[in-house]
Structure 1
Amino acid sequence: MLDLMTSGTGDTDVRPESLGQWRDYGESTLPVPLAAALAAFAEHGYHGTSVREIAARANLSVPGLYHHYPSKQSLLQGLLERTMTDLLHRSEVAIAEAGERPVDQFDAVVESLLRFHMYRREQAFVGSTEIRSLDDGYKATYISHRDRQQHMVDEIVFAGVEAGDFATPYPKDAARAVATMCVGVSTWFKLDGELGADELIARNLELARALVGYRADAHAV
């Protein structure tokens, strides 16, 4: 198994600037209206949720909710924008802290993706399932965020192949498979389940390395 640092606690709206702090997750501090929308969307789906239900969950009147967010669509967009901003920042910090070797950057971005989709699983789940519900005006922005995250993985895998760290003949496909594996965790992982977070990350890092054809002897002396 790969050696992992145990995750601690933190605040989702506090940018992880200290070394390793991108691993830290605590209770989400979404604004009350967005937290209420998240709970309702995760339970009933976007189209199965009414503005009245969100307002009730937020302990607000409907006009009071509209004072903060003028529509149900604006709630979905606000929620997904915060989700992607957090995800992208954590990934960027993890890669930057990993150093110059592609294999170290790869391990870091995979771990970051896995942790996010475990500890922010409801946000990730709504982001994956409700893209179909986004208005066209914001959908392009959201897709560009997702593409940016995928490009991080792509670039590292291609660099790893060039450096001789990875042997896959299909770097683009392998990078996509790795990202898909990480995102899929949000559909089934439970923090109180039989498999602990760090153990799951270690297992999936090994699987991710296998997908890109990691060569353990690449840097052997």
Structure 2
Amino acid sequence: MTEPLYADWRTFEALPLTPILEQALDLFNENGYHGTTVRQIARRVGVTVPALYYHHESKEAVLVALFEMQMRELNDRAEAAAREADDVVAQFSNVVEAIVLYMTYRVRHVSLDTELRHVSADSRSRYAASRKRLELMLVDLVADCVARDVFHSGDVPETVRALLGMCQSIPRWYQPGGALTPEQVAGRYVDIALHTVGYLPDH
């Protein structure tokens, strides 16, 4: 039987990026999307520009490939985290933990979100659909907990959007190797998230 993808969702190994994607990720973080040229990426990789275009039809295609890899991994980890839990509150806590761990361990990747404005409308739509998958998972979990009188949220979709916005802002301030480990950040954000949804364990 095949082991589920990201069954060990708290463990983050180095991503199996191609040399092109690895070097592009570094350059986009260093110089921004507009400040990076295809020639620079090719030079870092040690290939010609035509060779790079053989794998990716444009610089935008390279950025889109990074976006797609990011959201696929985040969604898969969040779903694995939910599957591991025995009850709905633990599912919610695990999913928030998975999101925050991703935002900290993969900070180089999620920092690219600021470059989303540079891709085509079609690519943005696909990315938005992937993000919606994560949002709807949390909406279903919170709504279920509200129905069970475990959470107390007056507007579930808006509460979930606020929680995701809070988590997605982490790359703006988080520094790898700083005062807080990813696990410490995740623990704090899970606690904040439970308060936000009105969790009353002794209710």
Could you tell me whether the CA contact under 8 Å between 2:9 and 2:81 is conserved in 1?
yes
Pick one of 90, 103, 118 that aligns with 2:77. 90
Letter in 2 for 1:197: P
Could you tell me whether the CA contact under 8 Å between 1:102 and 1:165 is conserved in 2?
no
CA shift, 1:74, in A, is 1.0
CA shift, 1:198, in A, is 1.8
Match of 2:9, SS state, is helix
**Count of residue pairs brought into register by the alignment:** 200
CA shift, 1:191, in A, is 2.5
Counterpart CA distance in 2 for 1:130 and 1:32 is: 21
Matched, 1:113 2:103: no
Counterpart CA distance in 2 for 1:58 and 1:77 is: 18
Deviations 1:71-127 (A, max 9, x none): 10110111111111111111111111113x22111101000000111111111110x
Pick one of 33, 36, 40 that aligns with 1:53. 40
Paired residues for 1:1-221 under 5 Å: 15-17=5-7, 21-99=8-86, 101-126=87-112, 128-218=113-203
Could you tell me whether the CA contact under 8 Å between 2:5 and 2:80 is conserved in 1?
no
Match of 1:57, SS state, is helix
Match of 2:151, SS state, is coil
Counterpart CA distance in 1 for 2:182 and 2:131 is: 24
Letter in 2 for 1:31: T
Q: CA RMSD in A?
A: 1.5
Unaligned runs of 5+ in 2: none
Could you tell me whether the CA contact under 8 Å between 1:121 and 1:187 is conserved in 2?
no
Unaligned runs of 5+ in 1: 1-13
Could you tell me whether the CA contact under 8 Å between 2:105 and 2:182 is conserved in 1?
no
CA shift, 1:137, in A, is 2.3
Counterpart CA distance in 1 for 2:111 and 2:139 is: 22
CA shift, 1:138, in A, is 1.8
CA shift, 1:38, in A, is 1.0
Letter in 1 for 2:104: M
